[in-house]
Amino acid sequence: MRKGEEEKPPFGKSWKQWYWAVLLVLLIQIGVYYFITQKYKWVP
């Protein structure tokens, strides 16, 4: 086994928290982009 494989993730969090954080950031971005789309949408 390569040295450091069991190394803890940086900033002392678990990997699960990292994955959730990436998902959360994606969801927030989609929310912001959806908000921009709706706010500036042109309805004839």
Partner 1 sequence: MGTLDWIVLLGTLLFIVVYGAWKTRGSKDIESYLRGNKDRWWTICLSIMATQASAITFLSTPGQAYEDGMRFIQNYFGLPLAMIVISATMLPVYYRLKVFTAYEFLESRFDLKIRLLAAALFLIQRGLAAGITIYAPAIVLSTILGWSLATTNFFIGSLVIFYTVSGGTRAVSQTQKQQMAVMMGGMIVAGVMVLYLMPKEVSLGQVFQVAGIMGKLNLVDFKFDLAERYTFWSGLLGGFFLAMSYFGTDHSQVARYIGGQSVAQSRVGLLFNGLLKVPMQFIILLIGVLVFVFFQFEKPPLIFNPVAYHKINTSPTLAPVLQNLEKAHANCFESKIQIWREINQEQQNFVLSSENSKIQKLRHLQNQADRIRDQALEMVKIVDPKTRDIDYVFLHFVLHYLPQGLVGLIIAVILSAAMSSTASELNALASTTTIDFYKRSIRQKASPSHYLWVSKVVTFFWGIAAILFATYASLFENLIEAVNILGSLFYGTVLGIFLIAFYLRFVRSFATFWAAIIAELVVLHLFFLRQIIDFLFDKSALPLYIETLANLGYLWYNVIGCVLTIVFAVILQWFYPYEGLKKRRKVL
Query: Binding residues for partner 1, per CB under 8 A?
Result: 1-5, 7-10, 15, 18-19, 22-23, 25-26, 29-30, 33-34, 36-37, 39-44
Instruction: Give me the half-sphere count of Cα atoms (radius 13 Å) on the Cβ side of residue 39.
Output: 6
Give the nearest distance from C-beta 39 to partner 1 in angstroms: 7
Residue 31: phi, psi to the nearest 5?
A: -60, -45
Give the nearest distance from C-beta 28 to partner 1 in angstroms: 11
Q: Mapping DSSP to helix (H, G, I), strand (E, B) and coil, where does residue 10 land?
A: helix
Give the nearest distance from C-beta 23 to partner 1 in angstroms: 7
